[in-house]
Amino acid sequence: MPYRRSAFFISDRTGITAESLGHTLLTQFDALEFKRETIPFVDTVEKARGIASHIRERAATDHHRPLVFSSIVNPDVREAVKVDEALCIDFFETFIGQIEHELHHKAELSVGKAHGVVNEERYDHRIEAVNYSLSHDDGIKMKGLDEADVILVGVSRSGKTPTCLYLALQYGIRAANYPLTPDDLGHDGLPAQLLAHRQKLFGLTIEPLRLHSIRSERRRDSKYASVDNCRYEVNEAESLFRQHGVPFLNATHKSIEEIATTIVHQAHLTRRF
């Protein structure tokens, strides 16, 4: 079994940037295992020195140099995090200098620009999109679908809800979703509630065995979760999509990020912020 290497994601704010970029880089080393730790809000030299001591202790315990991915704006705080006992990769230090040189302009080095409430109008729009998706989840509210940017359609547990919330959070897109029930399947027409919104529909489908596994976690040994019923519902839903020209995507082996990005591009949606 391979040893586990420590990986730290350190930031003066939420840690989302360091975590996202660091995780992306580490995915290229599947043969290795990593003990991952995210440390946000390291915004003073005192805090940074405390983290540096923690990293040195981990290096001594692991007998291997940890990997440190950081996105810290303040140069003094950034420098205090660096230790010889670890490989330190600072995303600001790596890129800011090159960009300054190219633009002939010094960076402002303001903390919180990426994930703070810098523009209240954009932030309010994002929250509004999330509230819309929550109130139009799982077909619980059909009124107001004319305000939707997209309406995700698919059988129960095919990934509609998390995709809608991701679209709202990351793109500010008003995404509603409608679950295809057994009553909606087995005949040729789209559900009556969706007819007026045909051009906004986007289907999600999933492999029957994967659907069976997901549904069994909620209602084991039920007809709802049976392989035969899952196969029937998926086949009928896909047939409905094809018959009415509804674009659809198989979400079985895709992450929520991949699903959402594909929908944005294929449905020609526009990011709201």
Integer CA distances (angstroms), 258 to 7, 27, 52, 66, in order: 25, 16, 35, 30
| 167 contacts 264 by C-beta, under 8 angstroms | yes
Separation CA 182–CA 249 (nearest Å): 20
The answer on whether 156 is annotated among ligand-binding residues is yes
Residue owning tokens 């960009």: 99
Q: Which two tokens stand for residue 168?
A: 């709202």
Length of the chain: 273
The answer on whether 272 is annotated among ligand-binding residues is no
Separation CA 206–CA 186 (nearest Å): 18
Q: Which two tokens stand for residue 103?
A: 């633009």
Residue owning tokens 């991701």: 166
The answer on whether 157 is annotated among ligand-binding residues is yes
43's torsion region: left (phi>0), alpha (psi -120 to 50) or beta?
alpha
The answer on whether 154 is annotated among ligand-binding residues is yes
Residues 6+ apart with CB under 8 A from 19: 9, 11, 38, 69
Q: Is the alpha carbon torsion for 205, 209, 210, 213 positive or negative? A: positive
The answer on whether 126 is annotated among ligand-binding residues is no
The answer on whether 160 is annotated among ligand-binding residues is yes
The answer on whether 226 is annotated among ligand-binding residues is no
Q: Which residue ranges make up the annotated binding site for ADP? A: 154-161
Binding residues: 154-161
